[in-house]
Each structure stands twice: as C-alpha cells, then as structure tokens.
Copies of this chain bind each other. A is one copy, B any other.
Amino acid sequence: MTPEPTATHNAFSPDTASTRLHRALRVRLCEGGFTPGEVISIRRIASEYDTGTMPAREAVRWLVTEGALMFSDSRKIIVPELSHDRFHEILFARKNLETELSRHAFDDIVDADIDALEWIDQRINAAIAQGDLVDYMRDNYRFHFHIYRLSQSRVLLPLVEILWLQYGPSMRYICTRWGASSIADDYHREVTQALRNGDREGFCQAIAADIEQGMMLLE
C-alpha cells in the first residue's frame, strides 16, 4: 500500500554502497531534509550514514552533477539557495514536464492507484492540519511520484526527479517561512476526482494547477 520510499534511479545501477547512499540522499533532498546554504561535507555524510568516505564522496558528487548540490566559492559543497528566477524556472519546467508525464500515465492508472492517491491525500491533509511540514513534504512527494512512475517514462521522469531534487530544500524553506497555511489549498482532490471521472484533460489541468499554486508563494 505504501508507495515506494526510495527514489527511482536514472539508469539501472548495481546495488552498491555508493548507489544506496545516493538514493537515500535523493529522497532526503526531495523531502526537504536539507536546508539551503547547509554545508555538505563528504566525511560528515560518510560517518552519518556509516559508510566509507569513498561511497559518500561519489554520492555527493553525483548530486552536484544533478544540480541538487553545488560548490561554494571556497570549494565546499553546499545545498544551493535558489534565486527567485531559478525557482520560477523550476516551477515552469515542472508544470510542462509533469503535466505531460501525467498525460502519459493516465491510461495506466487503475482504481487501486486512485485509492492509494486518496489515502495519501488524506495523510497530506492531516499533516497540514497539524502543521507537520516533514510529513507534508514526504507525502506530497509520494502523491506526485505515484502518478509519474506509472508513465514508465525513461526520459521525462529522470528530468522531473532532477527538478524535485533542486526544488526540495528551498520548498521546505519557503513553507517554513509562510507557515502551513500557505499550502492549505492544493489541487489533489481535483486530481483524484478527475481520475474517478475518467477525465483525462481535467486530470492534467488539476496537476498543472497544483504546480502553479506553488508559484503563488513566490509573488
């Protein structure tokens, strides 16, 4: 019932210490487990996740190539603080790609999926009611990717994952600043409703609206 807690991977990767850590860090980033500006030290990550320095180094550097982390001026690796422009660009790309991904997924969504989505949405609403940002971010991530993964996409899906990797830390930061009320009106109900009705375009538009709603927080 519970959706996959781990992020999918760009390509089939062997299951090594490096790839496991990479996946773990990806999920943590998407769920807002890091704050913008935070310094990510290879050796710290290694001890934190109880692996060697080598797997940590590879996992962290992979995240840099994905744009999820970056180098500071003094060559330290940090969680980037998104500029207003860049954040806006991410949401624009999200709206385009995720709407398309949803369109691809539509035909493969069965009733069990809609049940799962409604169940996740209930937890999201509960998290909002309690002002629990960590739960909210995790379940919101799972809500969207439950849909996107059904698309079976090998190209668009990895791109969208990259967007979420960059988006996660700043999103939590923004939500923290604005309080839980700022995310009170999502469009998840419209999403599941349209799915129940078999309304493809309504479904895609609800996804687009949900993402666009995120843009409002920036104005």
Q: How far is the CB of A106 from chain B (nearest CB, A)?
A: 16
State how many angstroms separate the Cβ of A174 from the closest Cβ of chain B: 17
Q: Which of A153, A156, A159 has the most CB of B within 10 A?
A: A159
- Tell me, in angstroms, the Cα distance from A197 to B62 when the chains sit together: 43
Contact of A93 among B61, B156, B162 (CB under 8 A): B156
Residues on B with beta carbons closer than 8 Å to the beta carbon of A75: 14
* Contact residue among B64, B80, B93 (Cβ-Cβ distance under 8 Å from A159): B93
B residues near A97, Cβ cutoff 8 Å: 93, 96
Q: Is A125 an interface residue (CB 8 A)?
A: no
Output the least CB separation between A17 and chain B (Å): 13
Contact (Cβ within 8 A) B159 A162 = yes
CB-CB contacts of A148-183 with B at 8 A, as 1s and 0s? 000001111011001100100000000000000000
How many A residues have CB within 8 A of the partner chain?
Answer: 36
Q: Is B67 in contact with A11, judged by CB distance below 8 angstroms?
A: yes
Q: Do B159 and A89 touch (CB < 8 A)? A: no
Contact between A86 and B159, CB atoms less than 8 A apart: no
State whether the Cβ of A13 lies closer than 8 Å to any Cβ in chain B. yes
Task: Give A residues with C-beta under 8 Å from B.
Answer: 10-14, 22, 58, 61-62, 64-67, 69-71, 75, 80, 85-86, 89-90, 92-93, 96-97, 100, 153-156, 158-159, 162-163, 166
A-B contacts, 6 of them at CB < 8 A, read: A10-B65, A12-B71, A22-B65, A58-B61, A89-B153, A96-B97
